[in-house]
Structure 1
């Protein structure tokens, strides 16, 4: 994940896609824009999941067994889903980099916190 964050930092600076830090108003505008863009990408994942279930039902009506219909639909959206997940990761890396967070460490710390909560 550290490599992804580092790649993202360089890539976004190169394309001038990084969150601006030169003054409060530019940072605020950049953060809000990136929040909207991330939200849009998450919504695109939701649309693909809807397509997954719609296609599964259509294929079942056409006579495919449910598991086969589901496998077909899953294959149909897989490439696009990968692209949308990648867009989300890019925006999350951008936010993490702005706040100087180590996503990998934060992730494992959070998973441990959840595990401790579940064990109670």
Structure 2
């Protein structure tokens, strides 16, 4: 993840896509703009999932087995879904770099915190 963050920093610099830091109002505007762009990319992930679910339902309605239909639908959105995840990761690394956060360290710390929670959510298994 450190390599990814460093690449992201260099890439954003090269493309002139860094969060602006020359004064507070411009920095605030840049942070908000990048946050809006991130939420747009997250919405695009939802759109790809919607496409996969719609395709699955169409294939099932045409007589295909549910599991096979879903596998085909997943394969059909895999590339675009990967692109949208990459876009999200680019914005997340941009924010992490701006705030000088080591994402790898933060990730493992958070997962350990979740592991040790007393009130863990329990997944519901459907028959």
Unaligned runs of 5+ in 2: 121-127
Residue aligning to 2:15: 15
Question: 1:62-113: per-residue Cα shift (whole Å, max 9, x none)?
Answer: 1110000000100000000000000000000000000000000000000000
Residue 110 of structure 2: aligned partner: 110
Which residue of structure 1 lines up, in the alignment, with residue 59 of structure 2?
59
Name 1:84's counterpart in structure 2.
84
Relative to the length of structure 2, the TM-score reads 0.92
- Where in structure 1 do 4 or more consecutive aligned residues deviate above 3 Å? none
Partner Cα distance (1:60, 1:88) in 2: 31
> Which of 1 and 2 has higher RCO (CA within 8 Å, sep 6+)?
1
| Counterpart residue number, 1:69 | 69
| Structure 1: runs of 5+ lacking an equivalent | none
Please report the TM-score for the alignment, with normalisation by the length of structure 1.
0.97
Specify which structure has the higher proportion of helix. 1
Superposed CA RMSD = 1.1
